[in-house]
Structure 1
């Protein structure tokens, strides 16, 4: 297992101008991280700063960490065929960027709808799968594995993620497995991790505080699909059974990249470092 940090975890500091993405990469190396996961659009932007590609590659090389994964948004549920083709083309262009960054993993979103019903999911599945096939086929020339993450409510439950992975049917299309995100659709994260771990190209470690729908905790919380209240927590301090989750991952023999993805209310460098230290400690104990 190679533990590192998603740049998303330090968005707060980048957005406030306290850190640049290069500062983040250096900080990750300083705390002992083995890799950085690049999430553009949150604190930095390649479209307005194309020179960042070379700067990120050079900085990661100079501090001795890998660029593991590249994560972007996408939505192949469009009103027109022209929009569908344009979205596929945009994501394919991002695959080329992943290659220039030297990473071998890429996560792209696939679909979003206000109505997240299973009926809509079943109706959309083949169209979404076809887009993912075309992108994965383009990525194959670079030996890049593309993936869908379990988030966004629509393709978040473990069985929906599996359905898409099977429908795409490409060896280089898998899932970025976020161990915490399953609670957003009220699925038991321990069971969901067991279900989907064998399809994982990448693992995100995230924790949440969870409160029932009839106990509104006030500011700083959002709701799950069924109305329970959630708030991001430092990994190992929230309500997820992080010991059992990490035990399952470790027992599986998983030896790929694992990223801390912190989105709590505490100051981001402090929260991320505590999460990083907790995951190392728990991993060694289980």
Structure 2
């Protein structure tokens, strides 16, 4: 099991242009991570996606730093101006990028939903997109998955329904233990439900405030049910990280895991604490 870090965890540094995506590979290695999860392709030098992916691959190889997952957005309901065939083709092109990077697994989104359309109504369309993509990815030796992400398709029961409906051996789930809180679901119950279906996992923590309290202000966002969340250093928030890891291990999960930090703290010192705490939890 490799402990990786998502490039999203350095988002503050990327936004402030204190580091670029290419430099994150050596930074993650210096910090002691076993691998890196690359989120989108973010050229800092004006390169196109293909050329920048080749640069990233060369740096991964130079540093002998494994890419544990490639992650990018997708929406099979509204993406590509609502043209499902076009969105499927666009996602397939991202699979080609993953292949250039040497990634053996990919997480793409399913959908953020459409007002007035129920999950049950949307499910056949989402399934068509996911199935077409995973069949294509399988020819390149790349496993695909969706994550409990984006409110509309975030509940564990909905993610399980989608997994079962796609019903393909190359398709699995990225289980993010923190994201269930975005739809006010207990991470312990949700991870316990989905752990047997996991192909990859995110370790994430959140500070939680009840929606019945006053708005805590900057840094917090609202859950679907009106509670407040703010990204936290792993072990500092309210997500039962160690218990969720136990559920994954009990279900036989032996894949890689990635820290996805989205707190307000400075990225580097925060991630050092995240890594130290996670290593301690895994030893327990």
- What TM-score, normalized to structure 1? 0.93
Match of 2:16 in 1: 16
> Using the alignment, how far apart are the partners of 1:73 and 1:49 within structure 2?
15
Encode CA deviations 1:76-102: one digit per residue, 9 max, x unaligned: 113999711111110011111111111
* C-alpha spacing 1:45/1:246, structure 2 compared with 1 (3 Å): farther
* 1:262 Cα deviation from its structure 2 partner: 0.3
> Using the alignment, how far apart are the partners of 1:249 and 1:45 within structure 2?
40
Match of 2:208 in 1: 210
Structure 2 residue matching 1:282: 3-state secondary structure:
helix
Matched, 1:219 2:218: yes
Matched, 1:62 2:69: no
> Using the alignment, how far apart are the partners of 2:30 and 2:128 within structure 1?
42
Structure 2 residue matching 1:146: 3-state secondary structure:
strand
Structure 2 residue matching 1:225: 3-state secondary structure:
coil
Structure 1 residue matching 2:118: 3-state secondary structure:
helix
Structure 2 residue matching 1:175: 3-state secondary structure:
strand
Match of 1:158 in 2: 156
Structure 2 residue matching 1:50: 3-state secondary structure:
helix
> Using the alignment, how far apart are the partners of 1:134 and 1:74 within structure 2?
13
Alignment of 1:180-259 (within 5 A): 180-215=178-213, 216-259=215-258
* C-alpha spacing 1:39/1:225, structure 2 compared with 1 (3 Å): same
> Using the alignment, how far apart are the partners of 1:39 and 1:235 within structure 2?
20
Structure 2 residue matching 1:155: 3-state secondary structure:
coil
> Using the alignment, how far apart are the partners of 2:134 and 2:270 within structure 1?
35
* C-alpha spacing 1:42/1:225, structure 2 compared with 1 (3 Å): farther
Calculate the aligned-residue CA RMSD, in Å: 2.0
CA contact (8 A) 1:40 1:46 kept: no
Structure 2: unaligned runs, 5 residues or longer: none
Encode CA deviations 1:97-147: one digit per residue, 9 max, x unaligned: 1111111100111111253x8x61000101110111110110111111111
Encode CA deviations 1:31-76: one digit per residue, 9 max, x unaligned: 2211111102568599745322122111112222211111111111
Name whichever of 76-85 and 29-38 sits farther off.
76-85
